Structure 1
Amino acid sequence: MIVANDLEVRVGARTLLQAPGHHLRVQPGDRIGLVGRNGAGKTTTMRILAGETEPYGGSVTVSGEVGYLPQDSREGNIEQTARNRVLSARGLDEVRAGMKRQQALMEEGNEKKRDKAIEKFSRLEERYHALGGYEADSEAAQICDNLGLEERILDQPLKTLSGGQRRRVELAQILFAATNGSGKSETTLLLDEPTNHLDADSISWLRSFLARHEGGLILISHDVDLLDKVCNKIWYLDAVRAEADVYNMSFAKYKDARALDEARRRRERANAEKKASALQKQADKLGAKATKAAASKQMRARAERMLNELDEVRVADKVAHISFPTPDPCGKTPMQAKGLTKMYGSLEVFVGVDLAIDRGSRVVVLGYNGAGKTTLLKLLAGVERTDGEGGIVTGHGLKIGYFAQEHDTIDGDKSVWQNTIEACPDADEQDLRSLLGAFMFSGDKLEQPAGTLSGGEKTRLALASLVSSRANVLLLDEPTNNLDPISREQVLDALKTYTGAVVLVTHDPGAVKALEPERVIIMPDGDEDMWSDDYMELVELA
């Protein structure tokens, strides 16, 4: 159970949320959808409830186990295997490692050491069985399989996995810790965009898993179908009023209820403004007479109270004006890749990939999770170096704009403004301020540390840097992740109108349709083909 008491959430001088009393509480059986526009404070509030950061005011009381999946998960020991990372949720990894060490000592010739090793092995084996033993190992593997992590991946070190694979390992670890596989658990799950990097089958399995979870659940997601199928309660963070509205109903019913609430507020304000206006006019008449000055003052005060006691009327959400840059001129083939190869130790990601990016070409990169799609974009962007003799051939006028899936181009310790001027050192300062304003960054928001931004805000910041770059080749890795529906549509419209070359990695069918690709690259082999709608069924599996 989690109970917030007089919770106040701020970022810098900006108040995101005030929730008096025990307005926000999570009990077993509550499956809560935490919703609101990008920047309303969903991720910040989730981090506070998870105990990752302190609230500005009030307190949070937690009882029982909590499993928290942050939007940008960062693992500790990247040398650890994926299997051991999942098993570590119940301490099974350390017990197994201890058993293995004692088993090696048991095989040695020294009788005294062997007897001691046998004794320690027996104690460890008892502990292993108490934690679920080999059945738990099988259960962890089953959860991993349902999340699209194949058996061959589980014994690889985390450092060799793609960003999407690591994210799924973290989700598997949390689900394994929370339950015995039946969904029956008292653990409170706090999941921030859990479907990022999941294919359609894995999302379907996760939806069923969460719908039968008996512990508490708070879910941040832009997957409307997931919210509708899983949630029985909605917390709506209103960025205008800095308040949370609690709806004890499904997501579909909540949308209708919120529309009615907003209509009620508009009617109440209109009526109050009409009455207050009449009082003000009467006060003006009385104020002209010295003998009626006190009565006039009382009427004005009453009119002000009438307006102040009303709920704020929600105005239309501001929308970022997202566009991609007007590309600088370039040659016919601004970029070529020859013999790109990537290895992690002895593990081969891909070998000998060739690719030519012509002026204005539109290419989509597909392949299963872990096939090397993100790695390919990093090589093209110059963020990583190829292994072997291959490389990038730079054509006339090449200017690259790179959007990183994990927002690696953003320095979380620096402010929004510092990140922007470092990304665009030659741009005019006033032009940059106007650009950031169009992307909904202005005032105190410019001084906010980028690490405290929500996933959607980081996406907007990264896109803003692209716009001022005048890039003629855009390398886009999942540019619609974490965006609310309105911002996502803005990105799709920008893709449609951009005239430069695009290399796109995405699992969003809408992004592929907006791009209207000419070619497709299938990883890990790097096979190239002309685009056909037959490839659309591979997009959600990418």
Structure 2
Amino acid sequence: MIVTNDFEVRVGARTLLEAPGQMLRVQPGDRIGLVGRNGAGKTTTMRILAGETQPYGGSITSSGPIGYLPQDSREGNIEQTARDRVLSARGLDEMKKRMLKQQEIMESTDNEKHRDKAIRKYSRLEEEYQALGGYEADSQCAQICDNLGLPHRVLDQQLKTLSGGQRRRVELAQILFAASAGSGKSQTTLLLDEPTNHLDADSITWLRGFLAKHEGGLVMISHDVELLESVVNKVWFLDAVRAEVDIYNMGFKKYLDARATDEARRRRERANAEKKASALKKQAAKLGAKATKAAAAKQMLARADRMINELDEVRVGDRVASIKFPEPAPCGKTPMNAQGLTKMYGSLEVFAGVDLAIDKGSRVVVLGYNGAGKTTLLKLLAGVERTDGEGGIVSGHGLRIGYFAQEHDNIDVEKTVWENTLDACPDAGQQDLRGLLGAFMFSGDKLEQPAGTLSGGEKTRLSLATLVSSRANVLLLDEPTNNLDPQSREQVLDALATYTGAVVLVTHDPGAVKALKPERVIIMPDGDEDMWSDDYMEIVELA
């Protein structure tokens, strides 16, 4: 259970949310959709509810375990295996290590006293392990991971060998594994920020069913409308204009209707009030011309102002970022040629001997199962990572690369929005950069905001903004529509459709593929190349 007390959220000098009293409550059985435009404060509010940071004003009271999935999951010991990371949710990983240590002593020592002591310790640990469901836990862990698209072979790999998408699914599996503990009702409050990122269609379907049956509390940020409709029974709408939260005790479909009704009512009331206020002001103007009527005129003007000020504020239409990709710089016929690209993690081969020629203006989609190396391929093409072996990238005449990383690795979270932009675009004029950032909805105090406090959607917009001034003629885009609200996503799709340079795209979003109108497809991990066919569209969401 989580309860806020006179809750206030700020970033810099900007107030994102004020919730007086104990307005926000998360109780067992509450499945709350936290919604609002990008930048309204959803991710910041979620971090505070999770105890990751403190509110500007007020306090948070919580009881029971909390499972928090941030948008950027980079926590944990990267030397740990995926299986141990999931099992750590119940402390079973450490218990297994202690059992193995006692077992080694039992098998290796010649000292009878040491052996007897190890036997007693092992028996005590095994009894505790069994009481915590340890022997069933391995099977349950594997089942949850499988449902989230993590194959069995991944469970015994170290986290450092996994892709960003696999790492995030391991974190989600750990949280869901913890929430499944015990035979009674779950006491875990789940706080999930865009939980469907990196999930394929089958995994999303399974997750919907899991969350719909979850008996503890749940607060979820998601742009997946189907997920919200099937899971949510309450909605918190963060209004960026009023810095307030509207609470709807209903499912998501009914909330959409209720909010539309609320907005229509506010517009009607304001129109009527403005009409009456205008009439009062005209009458006051007539009276004010006579000295004896000046007091009455002043009262009429005050009444007219009260009529407007006492109304609920009409929500102004959300601003939308003006997202356009750069005008590509001139280049040769084949600006990029990749030969024999290979990636290894220790003895684990991700892919080997991949060849790829990127011609001027070509449009390529990279497909493959989760963990097949799609993101790694883009990192090699971008020069962020080096190929293993003798392969490499041959740069053609005029090559300029623009790389969009799905994990926002190109953003320094310790620096401000403005500092990140200057680093990414050192040759651009400052006035031009301010205009560019303004088009992407970064202006005023937002420029001085630390990038680490931005929401996932805002980080996406910042990353896209830095691409624009690059004049790149080869764009490497890794899930560019992740975390975006519907309006911003449409802007990205329009930008994809009109960009005239070359694009190599990794995405689970069928809309992004349709906007790109690809000519070729690369199937990972083998690197097989084929001409694009609409038959491939069936596997985009599964890739």
Q: Distance in 1 between matches of 2:8 and 2:294?
A: 41
For 1:335, give the aligned amino acid.
M
Q: What SS does the corresponding residue of 1:60 show, helix, strand or coil?
A: strand
Cα deviation code 1:80-134 (max 9, x no counterpart):
0000000000000000010001100001222121111111111111121121121
8 Å CA contact 1:66–1:188 kept in 2: the answer is: yes
Cα-Cα RMSD: 1.2
Aligned to 1:82: 82
Q: Aligned residues, how many? A: 542
User: Are positions 1:494 and 2:495 aligned together?
Assistant: yes
Q: Point out the more displaced range, 67-76 or 498-507.
A: 67-76
Aligned to 1:306: 307
Q: Distance in 1 between matches of 2:125 and 2:223?
A: 44
Map 1:295-374; keep pairs closer than 5 Å.
295-374=296-375
Aligned to 1:245: 246
Aligned to 1:160: 161
8 Å CA contact 1:5–1:22 kept in 2: the answer is: yes
User: Are positions 1:55 and 2:55 aligned together?
Assistant: yes
8 Å CA contact 1:50–1:190 kept in 2: the answer is: yes
8 Å CA contact 1:183–1:209 kept in 2: the answer is: no
Aligned to 1:442: 443
Cα deviation for residue 287 of structure 1 reads 2.8
Aligned to 1:44: 44
Specify whether residues 539 and 182 from structure 1 end up closer, same or farther in structure 2 by C-alpha distance, changes over 3 A only: farther
Q: What SS does the corresponding residue of 1:244 show, helix, strand or coil?
A: strand
Map 1:212-251; keep pairs closer than 5 Å.
212-251=213-252
Q: Distance in 1 between matches of 2:79 and 2:300?
A: 72
For 1:58, give the aligned amino acid.
G
Aligned to 1:71: 71
Residue segments in structure 2 that go unaligned for 5+ positions in a row = none
Q: What SS does the corresponding residue of 1:214 show, helix, strand or coil?
A: coil
Cα deviation for residue 275 of structure 1 reads 2.1
Cα deviation code 1:352-403 (max 9, x no counterpart):
1111101001110000111110000000000001111111101100000000
Q: Point out the more displaced range, 18-27 or 224-233.
A: 18-27
Q: Distance in 2 between matches of 1:311 and 1:446?
A: 30
User: Are positions 1:385 and 2:374 aligned together?
Assistant: no
Give me the TM-score of the superposition, normalised by structure 2. Answer: 0.98
Cα deviation for residue 285 of structure 1 reads 2.9
Q: Distance in 2 between matches of 1:76 and 1:88?
A: 10
For 2:318, give the aligned amino acid.
D
8 Å CA contact 1:361–1:501 kept in 2: the answer is: yes
Aligned to 1:268: 269
8 Å CA contact 1:183–1:213 kept in 2: the answer is: no
For 1:348, give the aligned amino acid.
E
Aligned to 1:6: 6
Cα deviation code 1:162-192 (max 9, x no counterpart):
0000000000000011114989412111100
Aligned to 2:188: 187
Specify whether residues 181 and 363 from structure 1 end up closer, same or farther in structure 2 by C-alpha distance, changes over 3 A only: farther
User: Are positions 1:425 and 2:430 aligned together?
Assistant: no
Q: Distance in 2 between matches of 1:521 and 1:502?
A: 13
Cα deviation code 1:409-443 (max 9, x no counterpart):
01111111111111011112111111111111111
Aligned to 2:25: 25
Q: Point out the more displaced range, 130-139 or 212-221.
A: 130-139
For 1:107, give the aligned amino acid.
E
Specify whether residues 259 and 181 from structure 1 end up closer, same or farther in structure 2 by C-alpha distance, changes over 3 A only: farther
Residue segments in structure 1 that go unaligned for 5+ positions in a row = none
For 2:526, give the aligned amino acid.
D
8 Å CA contact 1:184–1:212 kept in 2: the answer is: no
Q: Distance in 2 between matches of 1:534 and 1:183?
A: 46
For 2:392, give the aligned amino acid.
G
Q: Distance in 2 between matches of 1:541 and 1:112?
A: 57
Q: Distance in 1 between matches of 2:297 and 2:13?
A: 37
Specify whether residues 414 and 270 from structure 1 end up closer, same or farther in structure 2 by C-alpha distance, changes over 3 A only: same
Cα deviation for residue 463 of structure 1 reads 0.4
8 Å CA contact 1:519–1:530 kept in 2: the answer is: yes
Q: Distance in 2 between matches of 1:225 and 1:483?
A: 16
Q: Point out the more displaced range, 85-94 or 242-251.
A: 242-251
For 1:10, give the aligned amino acid.
R
Identity of aligned residues (%): 84
Q: Distance in 1 between matches of 2:302 and 2:457?
A: 43
Give me the TM-score of the superposition, normalised by structure 1. Answer: 0.98
Q: Distance in 2 between matches of 1:246 and 1:458?
A: 27
Aligned to 1:412: 413
Q: Distance in 2 between matches of 1:441 and 1:288?
A: 48
For 2:275, give the aligned amino acid.
K
8 Å CA contact 1:44–1:454 kept in 2: the answer is: yes
Q: What SS does the corresponding residue of 1:396 show, helix, strand or coil?
A: coil
Q: Distance in 1 between matches of 2:142 and 2:360?
A: 46
Q: Distance in 2 between matches of 1:251 and 1:225?
A: 9
Specify whether residues 512 and 182 from structure 1 end up closer, same or farther in structure 2 by C-alpha distance, changes over 3 A only: farther
For 2:81, give the aligned amino acid.
T
Q: What SS does the corresponding residue of 1:107 show, helix, strand or coil?
A: helix
Q: Distance in 1 between matches of 2:432 and 2:223?
A: 32
Aligned to 1:198: 199
Cα deviation for residue 291 of structure 1 reads 3.3
Specify whether residues 206 and 184 from structure 1 end up closer, same or farther in structure 2 by C-alpha distance, changes over 3 A only: farther
8 Å CA contact 1:207–1:230 kept in 2: the answer is: yes
